[in-house]
Amino acid sequence: MRTSGARSRYKRLCRGEFITTENTEDTETISVISVTSVVNITGRFAPSPTGPLHFGSLVAAVGSWLFARAAGGRWLVRIEDLDTARVVRGSEEEILEALVRYGLTWDGDVVRQSERTALYDDAVARLRAQGLAYDCACSRAEVEQAASAPIGAEPLYPGTCRNGLAAGRTPRAIRFRAPDELIVFDDIVAGHVEENVAKQTGDFVVKRADGAYAYQLAVVVDDAEQGVTQVVRGGDLLSSTARQIALQRALALPQPDYAHLPVVLGQDGRKLGKRDGALPLPSLDQARIRDTLAAALGFLGLEVESGSARDMLEKALSLTRGRRYATIGQQNSTGEE
Ligand SMILES: [Zn+2]
């Protein structure tokens, strides 16, 4: 049973690659070790279609592309469109077109989280079955009030509904019972990280009051289902990682490697983001595309001669292959530009 469990999970993780192994008649003899040895590196870029790509997201796209391609791996694109109120029509097409113009081609089909709710339903049902998820009736205001959290910070959930809803209360969201244990991981760029999720954020929402699945849950389910073995993304998501690892453990999913790139800061020292009105990337003028790509590679510590986007990425790949992962992005880890 143990072997077949590992095998079926593997099958889900790496659909394409499994076929060669599966063709042998004697599938029962496949050991976990031989299966592991054919697992390929898979990276991903997961933008939200809330506007055009900006420089910070280009850095994340280029960084994750280089990490995956330098290891001979696959690179996937996943559209994180669960927060429908923030989705901007047409921006998915804009993002994908920009990736192509910057030479960042992906493998397989683009996946959309809005089309994958059955997978998230299943994950939450599995958490519930283990007693690891429960209904919460609290409004955000109630949580903030009870937690006396500073406005704007993620409030620590006080556990109001942990042992069942009070009489007359209506379930709104579903929360994950956060483990009271230290989660420790080594980020390829950010280094050693430890966090106790129960103490940092408390039980957190996996399905929101508006019915949408929460980012943390969807990311964990998708990364596992898509066979993602390395997550390279902006450093602003480092603080989500311990929560995601806690969910991976609860759902018995593999833990990918993490590399959180330094956050790109604007001239005012603030993070560049769509909500901050960061400028969209140039996507038509070839000279401006080259300059912008050179700047993104420069941010990752890679100096390459100007050329077509494809040539520049190929040169960046050859520089990356000769390095250890850990050197990528470290030049800028203090946030300098
Ligand atoms: Zn509650």
Tens of pLDDT along 239-284?
999 999 999 999 999 999 999 998 887 666 666 654 544 667 877 7
Ligand 1 centre to CA of 254 (Å) is: 29
Which residue has 């007693």 as its token pair?
131
Q: Are 81 and 49 in contact (CB under 8 A)?
A: yes
Q: What is the pTM of this model?
A: 0.82
Provide mean pLDDT across the span 177-199.
95
| Ligand 1 geometric centre to CA of 177 (Å) | 12
Residue 104's CB is within 10 A of a number of other CB atoms, namely: 23
Q: 25-29, 115-119, 241-245: lowest mean pLDDT where?
A: 25-29
Residues annotated as catalytic (active site), given as ranges? 274
**Cα–ligand 1 centroid distance for 137 (angstroms):** 5
Average pLDDT of the segment spanning 84-98: 94
Token digits of residue 245: 């690892």
Predicted pLDDT at 155: 79
CB atoms inside a 10 Å sphere around CB 263: 20
Distance separating alpha carbons of residues 113 and 115, to the nearest angstrom: 5
- List the one residue out of 74, 62, 63 whose CA is nearest residue 99: 62
Instruction: Enumerate domains of the chain plus CATH numbers.
Output: 1-39 (no CATH), 129-181+197-221 (3.40.50.620)
Query: For residue 164, how far is its CA from the centre of ligand 1 (angstroms)?
Result: 9
Amino acid at the residue 234: G
What pLDDT score does 1 carry? 26
Whether residue 57 is predicted with pLDDT greater than 80 in this model: the reply is yes
Distance 171 CA to ligand 1 centre (A): 8
Residues by chain with Cβ below 5 Å of ion ligand 1: 136, 138, 160-161
For 278, what's the count of Cα atoms within 13 Å in the CB-facing half-sphere?
23
CA of 159 to the centre of ligand 1 (A): 6
DSSP state of 271: B
> What is the pLDDT at residue 285?
87
User: φ and ψ at 43, to 5 degrees?
Assistant: -110, 175
